[in-house]
């Protein structure tokens, strides 16, 4: 195992879930940093179209594969980023068993790959491990308040298991591992209908339809621009720190404020309407990122207005998916 504080250099990365929203941005960043990248994805919640831009890079390869089966990679990797998992509530509620399997068997197979190659391993965990938090803002020491049997548990508990498995591989097998707890991330490349707040609001605003906030809209979220999140994952891998480390934007906004900003940026006349609250929806969500600042030298660079403007501009150009 390496010592925290070390800056590691990598030549070849495997990104599971590399055709997904965050995964594709991470692949772009790694390629821009001069790495070879192998994206492994079964396209369960993404489309091969995402790969068009990535395939233009010489150093990019794609393997269509379900990570719940062992990964047949002929070459060695220096770093494995494990992102493969349904991530939007709409996806994981439609794919409950698959989501649990991706967190369990998928994480084990990705860890085995890292162990085989003596590679660094980064788990894309989530702020959902904090559940509906009783502490605020959320620090990494907080163990969370999760309903283990509710509909969202297929995602939350899969990630909690994945964190436990990652920690066990570190202790038992000496694998160099890092755990990133990613908070709400948004940006270009999201699917309009994946059920997440920002693409839904942008889609509704651009169509002039009511922008639907769940419950009162007074629940809070922190929203992190995807380029910042991808950079956080890379910095974690380079740092040698085991984490868990919160990767998110500490600027807290209510869901209604996000809806209002998107309405302003799009210039839409859409009304904001309240719809039924979601089961086990967290009331407050905001990371304490002191650890990321201290050990990774990382903090978000793109503020909400800038990020939302870039996202709206992308949605205006993109075919809505």
**Please, what is the minimum distance in Å from the beta carbon of residue 45 to ligand NAD?**
4
The minimum distance between CB 44 and ligand NAD, in angstroms, equals 4
Please tell me whether residue 288 adopts helix, strand or coil conformation: coil
Contact 65, 44 (CB under 8 A): no
Closest contact distance (angstroms) between CB of 267 and ligand NAD is 26
Q: What's the min distance (Å) between Cβ of 67 and ligand NAD? A: 4
- Is the CB of 24 or the CB of 259 nearer to ligand NAD? 24
Minimum gap (Å) between residue 299 Cβ and ligand NAD: 17
- Cα separation, 217 vs 2, in Å, equals 44
Residue closest to ligand NAD, measured at CB? 20
Judged by beta carbon, residue 86 or residue 292, the one nearer ligand NAD is 86
Nearer to ligand NAD, 185 or 249 (CB): 185
268 or 300: whose CB is closer to ligand NAD?
300
- CA–CA distances in Å: residue 298 to residues 150, 250, 263, 291, 292: 34, 12, 30, 9, 6
Structure tokens at 292: 């990321």
Q: Among 138, 165, 136, 146, which Cα is nearest to 292's?
A: 138
> CA–CA distance from 52 to each of 21, 55, 183, 201, 316 (Å)?
13, 5, 27, 26, 19
Choose between 39 and 211: whose C-beta lies nearer to ligand NAD.
39
Shortest gap between Cβ of 162 and ligand NAD (angstroms)? 9
Kindly provide the b/e burial profile for residues 39-72, where b requires at least 16 CB atoms within 10 angstroms of the residue's own CB: bbbbebbbeeebbeebeeeebbbbbebbbbeebe
Centre a 10 Å sphere on the Cβ of residue 281 and count the other Cβ atoms it contains: 14
Please check whether residue 202 is in contact with residue 264, taking contact to mean a CB–CB distance below 8 angstroms.
Answer: no
β-pair partners for 177: 121
130 catalytic residue (yes or no):
no
Phi, psi of 28, rounded to the nearest 5 degrees: -55, -45
Annotated active-site residue in 130, 155, 186, 225: 155
* C-alpha 291: how far from chain center: 18
Q: Can you give the binding site for ligand NAD, defined by CB under 6 A?
A: 16-17, 19-23, 41-46, 66-68, 83-87, 91, 102, 106, 124, 126, 182, 184-185
In the complex with ligand NAD, the residue whose CB is nearer, 212 or 246, is 246
Half-sphere exposure of 270 (CA within 13 A, CB side): 28
Q: Which residues are catalytic?
A: 155
């Amino acid at each position: 195992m390496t010592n925290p504080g070390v800056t590691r250099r990598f030549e070849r990365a495997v990104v599971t879930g590399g055709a997904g929203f965050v995964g594709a941005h991470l692949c772009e960043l790694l390629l821009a940093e001069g790495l070879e990248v192998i994206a492994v994805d079964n396209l369960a919640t993404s489309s091969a179209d995402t790969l068009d831009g990535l395939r233009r890079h010489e150093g990019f390869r794609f393997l269509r594969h379900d990570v719940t089966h062992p990964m047949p990679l002929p070459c060695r990797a220096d770093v494995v980023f494990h992102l493969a998992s349904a991530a939007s509530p709409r996806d994981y509620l439609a794919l409950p068993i698959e989501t649990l399997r991706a967190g369990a068997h998928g994480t084990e197979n990705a860890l085995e790959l890292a162990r085989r190659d003596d590679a660094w391993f980064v788990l894309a965990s989530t702020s959902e491990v904090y559940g509906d938090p009783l502490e605020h803002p959320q620090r990494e020491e907080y163990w969370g308040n999760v309903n283990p049997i509710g509909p969202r548990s297929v995602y939350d508990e899969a990630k909690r298991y994945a964190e436990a498995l990652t920690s066990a591989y570190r202790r038992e097998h000496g694998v160099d591992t890092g755990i990133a707890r990613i908070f709400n991330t948004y940006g270009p490349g999201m699917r309009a209908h994946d059920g997440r707040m920002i693409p839904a609001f942008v889609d509704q605003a651009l169509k002039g339809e009511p922008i639907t906030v769940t419950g009162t809209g007074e629940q809070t979220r922190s929203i992190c621009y995807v380029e910042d999140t991808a950079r956080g994952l890379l910095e974690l891998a380079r740092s040698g720190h085991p984490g868990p480390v919160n990767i998110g934007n500490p600027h807290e906004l209510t869901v209604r404020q996000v809806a209002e900003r998107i309405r302003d940026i799009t210039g839409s006349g859409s009304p904001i309407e309240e719809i039924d609250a979601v089961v086990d929806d967290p009331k407050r969500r905001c990371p304490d990122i002191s650890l990321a600042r201290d050990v990774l030298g990382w903090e978000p660079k793109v503020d909400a207005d800038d990020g939302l403007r870039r996202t709206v501009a992308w949605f205006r150009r993109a075919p809505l998916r």
